[in-house]
Amino acid sequence: MHARASGLRVLTAVVLVSAGLGFCLAPVMAAEPGTAIDVPVLTAEPSMDGVVDASWSHAAKISLEMDFTYKRPAAERTAVYVGQENGYLDVAFVATQRESLTEVQETNGSSVEGDDYVAVALSPQGTHGFSYVFFANPRGARYQTSTENSAYSPQWTAVGVKTPTGYSVTMRIPLNVIRNGGSSSWSAQFSRYVVATNGLAVWTFSPQASQVTDPTFFGTLRGIGTGSRSPSRPPARIQPYLLAERAPRSIGGSTSRIGLDASIPVSPTASFLTSLHPDYSNVEIDQQTIAPTAFPRQYSEVRPFFTQAASFFDGWFSCSDCPNPLYTPGIPTFRQGYAIEGTQGPLTYAAFDTIGDRRVDDAQVVNYSNENEQHAIGVELQRVGVDTPSFIDDVTTLDTGYADLRSHFGAYFNVGIDRGTLVTDPQEANYFEGGPLYIAPTQIFGVNYQRIGTQFNPVDGYVQQTNIAGYEAFGKKIFNFSAQSILHDIYALAFYTKYDNDERLLAQVASAMQVNVDFRNLLTVHLYANSQGVLTSGGEFLPFDANGFAIGYRMGYANINGSNSTTSTPSYVSYSAGPYYHGKLDAWTYLTTVPLRHHLTLALETDEDRYDTVYPGEHAATQWLERASLDWQLNRYAEFDLGVRRIVGPNLPNAFQALGFSSPSVCFANPYYPGCMVNAGNVSLAFHFLAARNEFYVVYGNPNDLSTYPALFVKWIRYIGAEKGT
């Protein structure tokens, strides 16, 4: 009886939307950037159960008429209703969809972007200030992002329901979780993504736009905040935590800890941050991999202080294989951290200071950005320093660029200097890169010159290879096909790089071609050829060639930047082979993600690397990685994960790294050392709950460790004042 009543209600709502509200069926031309609408003040909160009924009749009504991906009219209709009341922005979407819905995610989180979704992007100060995006899938699972903080997680409402013609979603977003800088006219974009077609319908459209989240090409919502009182600045956030750890004495024994993170606004668009006795036991992610690399691996930052304080740094206008002056995973654990970050008109700025065991790491940055429909200008000045009793290091960089958005041509240059105890020849501690660019929505071409001195090697940075000078040419292009074609798109990439050292010897050379073919049935085929050589510190020039393919299902589709918008349930097989080090390397990866039942997903992965060689002193070696993870999405606010991983076999080197079958003492000190035998397993479990102003973790182990870390953590975080990440 209940199911039938719900079905009748949904059908009634569809009739009301089609006949009574009517707007979503009327033909509307695509809105141009700058199109403005007044946001009505509603007399009461409209229906927020996913059903768009008569309570939305006084909202402003718009339609998503253009497909941003394919630069043509959207294949299916999406109507959007916008209103405000009592300090909330109310938004409703009514989406028509013939294709099967992709709606795997049940718990709120970033995986919502792997499903079909609708989204609201808000930039209260236009191209200046902070930007926010709110996503919801057809089930109403939600996710949000902000340039203010990568951990941005305020509480807001999203509810989705299926309809006979697709689905509808209602959203209620508090205005007080958005830094508006006092503005009442907000730049905004509304969008809707369909996994099955890779279609991305938008409200305002410009053929010049290369990113759907670029506020330069947004429309405007006028009168935001009318009838409600908004504070001149957002509230402070005090974030104490309590942690209990149960562990054997062999790893330190059981303990408990208490600490604090805080964000205190000092203006409507700036905040002071602090972290006292920080704890990172619950935020590690499984970044273990045996995939072959030419250079040392880079890892994602997971520590909350840096995900907010460091988000303004390394913001190049453009760069190619550029050194990172600030690579925060290289900064050791600290006891206290302090930072300030914010925006003021076209300027963004940030500074942080972390105090550890006889070590201080600090950095400052100021960025000027000016972008409109005619041009884009960017200038960033940055400094990163390290101070210890044994050495100091000081790195300053200037990155700048200009692009004419009408002709798509531009140019950039980046310079840097590294000074300190470890620098003996200042002329060899400099960096320069620059060249012309052509940037369009479906293609990018460029040529650049780069020189990295022998001693330009920031302690808190990451540099692939020093002592190089030379050129790179690259090009990327996406070919889109008609809606009726069996092909969705073809992505093509080509580049060539050649660098010499200061003795005019070949230091690095690379040439690559890649073609991704995406089909309508969610099948994807990647073909690639990559030839690379690197001069080692020992004077050998060693190859690293990777020629192969990848065949996948539900992997998502490539964008102009080359990355894929992966769905929540991808499956693929990849293979690469070619000359490597002193021999030949074959690398296989098999991965599948399977929904077992409602809310329960199993991911399985196996990797195999085989190194064949007849070089004196070396022998063939094979390393395996096997991984399984179980994801149980209990509800919108709680999720349980179980991870199991095993790595067996000797470590393979980076392409330039000396391979040695090392002594037990060396391997004990560094189990990742090339040639060291690994036979390790890891089991980890995690439960996470976030709702209102409380966040709980129950964690066993550490998924990022090589072997199981036999400790149980229970952590409670309380958010006082502002919500998480705001």
pLDDT tens-digit profile of 343-402? 888 899 999 999 998 999 999 999 998 888 888 899 999 999 999 999 999 999 999 999
DSSP classification of residue 530: E
> Distance between CA 553 and CA 111 in Å, rounded?
17
Angle, alpha carbons 544-547-548 (nearest 5°): 140
d(C-alpha 436, C-alpha 687), whole Å: 49
Which of 68-72, 92-96, 388-392, 555-559 is predicted least confidently? 555-559
Residue 659 CA, chain-centre distance (Å), reads: 34
Instruction: Between 289 and 714, name the one with better pLDDT.
Output: 714
Q: Which two tokens stand for residue 567?
A: 């769905």
Residue 320 has a pLDDT of 80
User: Whose structure tokens read 């409600």?
Assistant: 228
b/e string for 588-614 if b means 16 or more Cβ within 10 A?
Answer: bbebbbeeeeebebebebebbbbbebe
pLDDT in tens, 693-708: 888 988 898 887 888 8
CA atoms of 706 and 703, how far apart (whole Å): 8
Which residue do the tokens 């009219």 mark? 73
Residue type, 661: F
pLDDT of 11 over the 50 cut: no
Higher pLDDT, 159 or 271: 159
Q: Are 479 and 492 in contact (CB under 8 A)?
A: yes
| Residue located via tokens 């890892």 | 299
d(CA 42, CA 665): 72
Does residue 8 carry a pLDDT above 80?
Answer: no
Which region among 212-226, 317-331, 560-574 has the lowest average model confidence (pLDDT)?
560-574
pLDDT of residue 293: 61
Q: What is the pLDDT at residue 22?
A: 38
Cβ proximity of 290 and 627 under 8 Å: no
Mean model confidence pLDDT for the chain: 85
Cα dihedral 327/331/334/340 (nearest 10): -30
Q: Which domains does the chain have, with CATH numbers?
A: 2-222 (2.60.40.1190), 297-463 (no CATH)
**80 vs 721 pLDDT, higher one:** 80
Q: How far is it, in rounded angstroms, from Cα 681 to Cα 643?
A: 11
**What CA–CA distance (Å, rounded) separates 239 from 274?**
10
Residue 5 clears pLDDT 60, i.e. is over it: no
Query: Residues 318, 401: contact at Cβ < 8 Å?
Result: yes
Torsion of CA 532, 536, 541, 547, to 10 degrees: -20
CB atoms within 10 A of CB 177: 22
Question: What pLDDT, on the 0 to 100 scale, is given for residue 539?
Answer: 80
- Residue 648 pLDDT level (bands cut at 50, 70, 90): very high
Based on DSSP, count helices (H) and strands (E) in the chain, helices before strands. 3, 40
Which of 392 and 264 is assigned the larger pLDDT? 392
- pLDDT, one tens digit per residue, over 577-600 is 999 888 899 999 999 998 888 889
Average pLDDT value for residue range 400-416: 93
Task: Tell me the percentage of the chain whose pLDDT exceeds 90.
Answer: 44
Q: Which band of pLDDT confidence, cut at 50, 70 and 90, is reported for residue 2?
A: very low
Q: Where are the alpha helices (DSSP H) in 219-377?
A: 304-309
Mean predicted confidence (pLDDT) in 703-715:
86
pLDDT at 204: 95
How would residue 285 be classed by pLDDT, with cut points 50, 70 and 90?
low
Residue 27 pLDDT: 41
Give the best-scoring range by mean pLDDT among 67-71, 243-247, 408-412.
408-412
Residue with tokens 């329901």: 161
Predicted pLDDT of residue 192: 96
Averaging pLDDT over each range in 12-16, 219-223, 289-293, 477-481, which range is the top one? 219-223
Beta strand segments in 102-251, E: 117-123, 132-136, 142-146, 157-163, 166-174, 186-194, 199-202, 219-222, 237-246
Q: Would you say 414 and 316 are in contact if contact means Cβ atoms under 8 Å apart?
A: yes
Q: Are the CB atoms for 347 and 341 separated by under 8 Å?
A: no
Q: What are the pLDDT digits (tens) for 472-484?
A: 999 999 898 887 7
What pLDDT is stored for residue 10 in this prediction? 36
* Gyration radius of the chain over CA positions: 26
pLDDT at 262 > cutoff 80: yes
Amino acid at 247: A
Output the pTM of the full model: 0.82
For the chain, first and last CA: distance in Å? 43
Rounded to 5°, the CA angle 495-496-502 comes to: 140
Q: Rounded to whole angstroms, how far apart are CA atoms 214 and 188?
A: 10
For the record, the structure tokens of 26 come out as 């009327």
Higher pLDDT, 117 or 13: 117
- Kindly write down the DSSP assignment for every residue of 344-385, as one continuous string: ETTEEEEEEEEEETTEEEEEEEEEEEEE-SSEEEEEEEEEEE
| Over residues 326-339, mean pLDDT | 89
CA dist 174 and 611 (Å) reads 56
> What confidence tier does 283 reach under pLDDT thresholds 50, 70, 90?
very low
Q: What is the pLDDT of residue 706?
A: 84
For residue range 526-559, list pLDDT tens digits in order. 999 988 888 877 788 888 888 999 999 988 766 6
CA distance 726 to 43: 28
